[in-house]
Amino acid sequence: MGSIPAWVAPTVAVSLVIIAASMLTVGAVALFVGLGLRQRTRDLSAQLSALTADAKTVASRLRHEIDGFADLSTEARVKLKGAIGAVETRLQDLDALAEVVQEEVQETALSAASLLRTVRRSGKVLGAARRVMRHRPPAEGAG
């Protein structure tokens, strides 16, 4: 076996330096990319935090509005039930009043008919009395 040629050792050394420099370059690029990604991640995290805060604010306002509508709906429902109750009471009162007025009108009509009948009978009686008085001979001493 022979000895190794002299050019192999420097070639291997230069190759190792090139490989080391390549690895350092790859490491530097990886570090640069990693730091860039880290910064980008921080930026995205800040934007996401702002977006989350805005979403929480919107959700809170929406919840507040929905609660307000629910309260308004409840209040309107209570008022509507009260109004319906008041209308029912008024209608019952009007129904009772209509019955009383109807009874009074009927009684008045009966009283008027009775009075008219009495006036007619009285007229007939007075008419008969007048006829009798006209056909009667004059009284003796009257004249």
Q: Where are the domains of the chain?
A: 9-132
Closest CA to 90 of 103, 82, 54: 82
User: pLDDT (tens digit, 9 = 90+) per residue, 94-129?
Assistant: 999 999 999 999 999 999 999 888 888 877 777 777
Q: What is the pTM of this model?
A: 0.42
Q: Whole-angstrom Cα distance, residue 38 to residue 23?
A: 22
Q: Whole-angstrom Cα distance, residue 87 to residue 91?
A: 6
Per-residue pLDDT tens listing for the chain (143 residues): 568 888 988 999 999 999 999 999 999 999 999 999 999 999 999 999 999 999 999 999 999 999 999 999 999 999 999 999 999 999 999 999 999 999 999 999 999 999 888 888 877 777 777 777 777 666 665 54
Q: Whole-angstrom Cα distance, residue 43 to residue 46?
A: 5
What does the pLDDT read at residue 143?
47
**Amino acid in the structure at residue 19:** I
Which ranges constitute the DSSP H helices of the chain? 8-135
